[in-house]
Structure formats: structure tokens, C-alpha cells
Amino acid sequence: MTEHNTAQNSEGARTAPVEFTKRTDKTIIKVADMHKWYGTFHVLKGLNLDVKEGERIVICGPSGSGKSTFIRCINRLEEHQRGQIIVDNVELTNDVKQIDTVRKEVGMVFQHFNLFPHLTVLENCCLAPLWVRKVPKREAIATAMEYLDRVKIPEQADKYPGQLSGGQQQRVAIARALCMKPKIMLFDEPTSALDPEMIKEVLDVMIELAGSGMTMICVTHEMGFAKTVADRVIFMDQGEIVELAPPEEFFSNPKEARTRQFLNQIL
């Protein structure tokens, strides 16, 4: 994975970022009849989703619809109570070893960045490769610089997160996740906490990443991003997947009334 990933970066990414080339038929994430409760509150009600390797999926929906909870289940930051989640052939259960195996391959970007404030940007990026992947230090630093370069802030490497703007912090967070060379990237409302002028710089990085063939699942309200990048768009409401369709169809000809109502409100 890592090899063809970097190969893709060099050619495909720069020339035609959104034009998508590599897709296998391999299912990398399989969610089957997955339920979750918070106490007695039924948050997720029987979700089903197959994600192919290299696919880019955007999840939207009103707040409280369970979309964040859904993607947080995929790397087990939240646990599900019924059904199955299989990520890269590993099923998520209470087995800590399996959870760790999955988390190694799944990068996550949070709404509030969650950078480690006591470490510099470079140290943030090197931490997990050094301690989880056991990569030699020199190599970890080289990889980190490569990704910081890719998110266009190599010059901030020695600063602390507190010294950066929100947009810069989020780009560091993306680089930090990429340094683990994950197979899948999860984005949990990555631009929601940003000032409007910083949203674009983060979206640009994400679009570039999408062009490189990364499997991405992205919870966002940026419909422009969904139109350009997504292979499929999911609309969630009240813990259910209401609509699942390619973007052309999703935006121009939504089947469900609830989807139409939502789209009217935000577009």
C-alpha cells in the first residue's frame, strides 16, 4: 500500500488532483447491520456500508444524526453493540490487539485538531511512527517532513501547535495522521472549527489527498467538496442512512424527501 501510495503522489496527484485512477474491487471497510446505543438512546440503527479501496465517501446530515458517531465507530473510538464492522479484514471486537491493528491503518482528523500541545509540529508527526510503527528516527523525520511539505507548512516544523493558526493546525493534524501511512483516512468535520478564510487551505489539502488514491470517509458540510471529490455521498438522519448515491445523482435528483429538505436548507 505504502509504495503505490507514494508513487501516486508523484504523478497523478499534481496534474489532475480529482481525476481518479486507482480503484480495486477490494472491500476495505464492511459495516453490516451495526447498532449503537448511548445508555437507552438508540444512536445508530442498523447501518450497512461497503467501502471499496480507494473510494471517497462524504457523509452529511443534520447535527445529532449520528454521522460523527458512525465514523468514530470505524476506529473504535466508540464501540458498537450489535452488528459487524470489518476494517481491512480485521473485525472490531473488544480484542485490544485487533483494535490496535485497525488503528494503525486508519488515520483520523478531528474537528478540533487535537494536536499535542507539548510537542512541536515535527514531534507530533513523528510520535506514532516512532512508538507504534517502530520506524527509525531518521526515517520518521524524513517522512514527517515529506508530509509537512505536502500540506505546505514544512517551515513550521519546529513550532508548537499553539503558535499556529487554526488552518495550519488542521493541516498539521492531517500530516500527523498521514505519517502513519494509513490505508484509510477518517475526517470528522475537519473544517467546522475554522474561520472561513482558512477552510479553503484545508480543503485543498484534502482534495489533493483524494487525488492520490487514499480511501477517505469524510463527515462534512462542505457540499462543494462533496461534489468535486466524493464517489458516493451519504445522507444520515436520526441514526439511519437515508440516502446513498453518487454526487451527481445525490445533488440533482435526490430520492428521499428528507434529503431534499436537508439540501434545500444548506444549499
Which range in 15-23, 84-92, 115-123, 213-221 contacts another protein by CB under 8 A? 115-123
Min separation Cβ 137 and another protein, Å: 15
Does residue 170 bind another protein (CB under 8 A)?
no
Does residue 134 bind another protein (CB under 8 A)?
no
Tell me 164's DSSP state: S
Q: In what order do the strands lie in the sheet with 90-91?
A: 41-52, 27-38, 82-87, 90-91
Q: In whole angstroms, give the CA distance from residue 72 to residue 221.
A: 17
CA 248 to chain centre: 21
End-to-end, the C-alpha distance of the chain in Å comes to 37
Min separation Cβ 259 and another protein, Å: 30
C-alpha distances (whole Å) from 188 to each of 24, 68, 73 are: 25, 6, 12
Among 107, 167, 190, 254, binds another protein (CB under 8 A): 107
CA angle 188, 231, 87 (to 5 degrees): 55
Min separation Cβ 132 and another protein, Å: 4
Does residue 115 bind another protein (CB under 8 A)?
yes
Among 43, 121, 128, 153, binds another protein (CB under 8 A): 128
Among 2, 24, 93, 114, binds another protein (CB under 8 A): 114
Q: In whole angstroms, give the CA distance from residue 133 to residue 137.
A: 11
Contact yes or no for 260/239 (Cβ under 8 A): no
- Would you say 171 or 232 has its CB closer to another protein? 171
Which range in 60-68, 80-88, 156-164, 214-222 contacts another protein by CB under 8 A? 156-164
Does residue 126 bind another protein (CB under 8 A)?
no
Please, which residues bridge with residue 232 across strands?
57
Residues that bind another protein (CB under 8 A): 75, 77, 96, 100, 103-104, 106-108, 110, 112-118, 127-128, 131-132, 160-163, 173, 176-177, 180
